[in-house]
């Protein structure tokens, strides 16, 4: 599998300043991988070996279904099921107690080919993000002008920066991150609150005016902010 499928220039990810940039990165890489594994990679034995072993999570089965290529998906499911049967369900023998079956089943249950590749892509990009934040003033400003980071990616940035950034630089990074998060979460909370209040009879009709779009969209945006996934991806 070519690494170029999993990497996107960091400026391309941060330039739009709209939504969570890590989500944008993930969405693009997911799209690339889904197209790739349903197309060219179908015939690549090393990719098939990995998909047979790891399978996919619910979110990514959903995205693969959207590729409108049921035969490719069925072929992958076919060999994945064969492997699950051979390695777990049909496995006999003294050393294969029920517990080890449970362990193996849990392993397959928790793995996803797309998730593992996306994770690699994100980690690879974050190496660059942390380096550029320290060395490139222009990028630092671009980072600071992001709209927000979703809660799961905010959590991941805090965690990863602890491992990948020197202490002194990290406090600068965390301060920038927190300022973005405080501002956005406050506004979002206030928009959702206004949405609730719009159901009061005294505010009848108010929600439908053009300038209330930020309030109308607030429930969807709050779910996106808290979970990193939008409604259309269910």
Q: Which residues bind Zn ion (CB under 5 A)?
A: 20, 22-23, 57, 60, 112, 114-115, 150, 153, 228
Nearest approach, Cβ of residue 12 and Zn ion (Å)? 16
Nearest approach, Cβ of residue 10 and Zn ion (Å)? 15
Q: Which is nearer to Zn ion, 15 or 96 (CB)?
A: 15
Alpha-carbon distance of 202 to 205, in angstroms, equals: 9
Closest C-alpha among 24, 9, 11, 234 to residue 148: 24
Is residue 33 within 8 A of residue 56, CB to CB? The reply is no
Nearest approach, Cβ of residue 19 and Zn ion (Å)? 8
Is residue 76 within 8 A of residue 54, CB to CB? The reply is no
- Lookup: tokens for 53: 């072993």
Q: Which is nearer to Zn ion, 57 or 207 (CB)?
A: 57
Nearest approach, Cβ of residue 57 and Zn ion (Å)? 3
Q: Which is nearer to Zn ion, 22 or 215 (CB)?
A: 22
Query: 60: which residues sit within 8 A by CB, 6+ positions away?
Result: 30, 34, 112, 113, 114, 115
Q: Which is nearer to Zn ion, 139 or 154 (CB)?
A: 154
Nearest approach, Cβ of residue 119 and Zn ion (Å)? 9
Is residue 114 within 8 A of residue 33, CB to CB? The reply is yes
Q: Which is nearer to Zn ion, 20 or 129 (CB)?
A: 20
Alpha-carbon distance of 142 to 16, in angstroms, equals: 10
Closest C-alpha among 7, 58, 67 to residue 34: 67
């Amino acid at each position: 599998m070519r690494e170029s499928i999993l990497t996107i220039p960091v400026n391309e990810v941060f330039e739009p300043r709209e939504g969570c940039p890590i989500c944008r990165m993930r969405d693009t890489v997911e799209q690339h991988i889904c197209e790739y594994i349903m197309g060219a990679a179908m015939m690549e034995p090393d990719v098939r070996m990995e998909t047979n072993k790891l399978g996919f999570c619910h979110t990514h089965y959903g995205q693969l279904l959207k590729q409108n290529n049921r035969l490719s998906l069925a072929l992958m499911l076919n060999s994945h099921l064969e492997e699950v049967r051979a390695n777990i369900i049909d496995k006999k023998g003294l050393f294969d107690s029920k517990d080890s079956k449970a362990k193996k089943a849990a392993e397959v249950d928790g793995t996803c080919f797309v998730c593992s590749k996306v994770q690699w892509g994100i980690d690879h990009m974050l190496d660059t993000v942390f380096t550029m934040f320290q060395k490139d003033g222009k990028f630092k400003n671009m980072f600071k002008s992001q709209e927000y980071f979703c809660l799961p990616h905010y959590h991941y940035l805090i965690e990863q920066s602890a491992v990948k950034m020197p202490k002194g630089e990290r406090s600068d990074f965390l301060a920038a991150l927190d300022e973005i998060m405080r501002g956005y979460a406050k506004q979002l909370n206030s928009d959702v609150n206004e949405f609730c209040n719009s159901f009061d009879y005294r505010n009848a009709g108010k929600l439908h005016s053009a300038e209330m779009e930020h309030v109308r969209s607030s429930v969807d945006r709050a779910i996106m902010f808290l979970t990193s996934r939008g409604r259309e991806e269910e």
